[in-house]
Structure 1
């Protein structure tokens, strides 16, 4: 279906969308150096403390699945504002938590709110752009979004020194309030009322069944989702592997983390430059191949101990760097394949990413101790499954979506 002319968002909107989409990464990355401290405060194991990270990713996934179809039916702006409000209130509850069980629950609610900005940033970019333009815009949003996670562990480590882990949630509360005000004042509605009138909520949710019958959707979910799961395994495991096994200080941990966020930014910069020339499919194919090779390298280093900490850091740089490339291109291709259900398409892809990330976090937490072994096994498996997704994409790209006539592949 041809797209009607749309007003392209200016650079200020791109900057704002990037800041809003950073709610989730900031809520994850800023408190990573505090995980060992949280475990000590509540007298629980490292795996129990990591459950707060797993519950966050689960809440993020559920939120995306709710927000996508609802925004298709009622518009992007009100859903976005409601999600940010929930994020802010839940951040206050995290700050005031006095048991690990309570923190796990309110972290879920915090993520439920944060999911709005992530899925709707993608949908807003799709509303206003053709495929290659949308992929470039999403990469620009991801670059902006990466600035927060680049600084977050460093800030989190300093806040831990200043006032303990609760101060981290005070900072997230203030960030949520700033985002709510900015979104209220500056984010426009990009999904026209006439399109919302033809898409009832139950039809929007029913689109999930159609999406999940499409092999191409599964290819994108595996490519983008398993690459993200590799990264989230790293996020879940390295606070303990780096700080407790390799004796990196919580303050210096942020520097190691920042190197990989720089890699994500670099990957997105390269994507904005080359996606128009090479096309979405080729970018996804190359990035997923690199993800698989780098993941297997990390697994080998973790299992054998060759090269120690620095060999793991080297391999993880490439594992993490392609995550943004895969996220931008896979989501863009899906949303343009399903133009009238772009919110649902963005949601199912985002939920797959976060759900697989939560699963990987749970799996790596099942390995005993704090050695790199569990991290290596999990990342290696994720890399292989990402390549399986690439095989599905190569096989099914260009085939019609369920219920559609055959059409040219997205570029």
Structure 2
């Protein structure tokens, strides 16, 4: 007899009494679970950042070759999200989530045992393919289990919980590098994956009921991507949230070399610089939970994207001219990074409620675009020669300009009806 996961009591009450209680408070325990699971991807990215120079030295390759392991991770993360969204719409959230975490854990073992940078690039791709399940499904599960008025707030709360891992990850990664080298990082990620698998199996409930699924609808769910991309508002959100994320990911991929090798920050102290920006993400998401009900998604997206645009252009100026040195770059990057989670929560929520019957596909197309643009930005910054801040600044400045284009589209098309063809295609 197969045991079923025990649902949190608050979620059971929400499910059974939704019609009588349309304004229920978000379920705190579910938020904690989703936040911890969604941290698989950020932890796998951030914990090994201080090790990138050591990986390059270990395999005798260039900084750009070592950074390609980060690019392959983002590419796998993006593809995984595109895959998991429609499949979970057709077959349910829980089995897809469990399968993704299992793949993440097995690939973490393979990363641990890699003996060439080419092999590490491949298994990092597979690791990300598994981690993508937690990221896209945390959004879809939050949408399934909570009222529309609470969804953006819930996603911001999930982001705050998720940010605790990246806040500590570079600090932990720097210490692990001292203890046993970069391979120890993947040992810890393997153990984390196992813990996540057990937690998901025992505690994460199924939130997409069978009556809303149809196995044959998976092809229609994938077909929904094409129809989603005909909506100008979708493009606005993808550019606005995606290019802001790409600016942040440029910082993630470039600063291990810029800070550690160019400005001579120690790998252990690098974690403090990184942690300050993760604190900024937590602060941005906290402010979103306080003001989203009063201002609404459009104004929050507009304000946050404006901050991102101005800060990105400031960082570009500082990096290209060298004015202010390290601290001017650190100051500007704090604002670039702080609004990324807030933008992601509001952009994703707006899209999922614009297309309620394709919520998984809508979350996936937004998340995958973020990650694809992040991978592209990581590759672009790697093309610049040397380890100076110049390439990072130019790339972040371009991201800021495209964020402005996305903001303009969101402001213009927000509130217009969704194309009827997308809703008709829903299962």
TM-score by length of 2: 0.93
Paired residues of 1:94 and 1:169 also in contact (CA < 8 A): yes
Paired residues of 2:81 and 2:133 also in contact (CA < 8 A): yes
1:203–1:329: structure 2 CA closer, same or farther, 3 Å change rule? same
Instruction: Return the match for 1:340 from 346, 350, 357.
Output: 357
Matches of 2:25 and 2:100 in 1, distance apart? 24
Instruction: Return the match for 1:202 from 219, 229, 236.
Output: 219
Paired residues of 1:132 and 1:279 also in contact (CA < 8 A): no
Name the residue aligned to 2:57: 40
1:77-88 alignment runs, 5 A limit: 77-88=94-105
Matches of 1:70 and 1:281 in 2, distance apart? 30
Matches of 2:215 and 2:375 in 1, distance apart? 35
Matches of 2:46 and 2:145 in 1, distance apart? 30
Instruction: Return the match for 1:394 from 408, 411, 419.
Output: 411
Instruction: Return the match for 2:186 from 161, 165, 169.
Output: 169
Name the residue aligned to 2:195: 178
Name the residue aligned to 2:7: none
Name the residue aligned to 2:208: 191
- 1:119 positional shift: 0.1
Are 1:356 and 2:368 an aligned pair? no
Instruction: Return the match for 1:287 from 304, 313, 328.
Output: 304
Paired residues of 1:224 and 1:326 also in contact (CA < 8 A): yes
Paired residues of 2:136 and 2:360 also in contact (CA < 8 A): yes
- 1:10 positional shift: 2.0
- 1:398 positional shift: 1.1
Unaligned stretches of 5+ residues in structure 1: 407-411
Are 1:101 and 2:118 an aligned pair? yes
Are 1:224 and 2:241 an aligned pair? yes
SS in 1 for 2:213: helix
Paired residues of 2:351 and 2:363 also in contact (CA < 8 A): yes
SS in 2 for 1:401: coil
Name the residue aligned to 2:73: 56
Q: Deviations over 1:43-100 (max 9, x none)?
A: 0000000000000000000000000000000000000000000000000000000000
Name the residue aligned to 2:149: 132
Are 1:158 and 2:158 an aligned pair? no
Paired residues of 1:131 and 1:333 also in contact (CA < 8 A): no
Instruction: Return the match for 1:250 from 251, 254, 267.
Output: 267
Instruction: Return the match for 1:325 from 322, 339, 342.
Output: 342
Matches of 1:36 and 1:360 in 2, distance apart? 19
Matches of 2:365 and 2:421 in 1, distance apart? 19
Instruction: Return the match for 2:231 from 203, 214, 218.
Output: 214
Matches of 1:361 and 1:268 in 2, distance apart? 25
SS in 2 for 1:97: coil
Paired residues of 1:132 and 1:280 also in contact (CA < 8 A): no
Unaligned stretches of 5+ residues in structure 2: 1-17
Matches of 2:214 and 2:229 in 1, distance apart? 24
Paired residues of 1:132 and 1:275 also in contact (CA < 8 A): no
Paired residues of 1:72 and 1:199 also in contact (CA < 8 A): no
Aligned length: 403
Matches of 2:258 and 2:148 in 1, distance apart? 40
Matches of 1:231 and 1:61 in 2, distance apart? 16
Paired residues of 2:92 and 2:208 also in contact (CA < 8 A): yes
Matches of 2:415 and 2:215 in 1, distance apart? 27
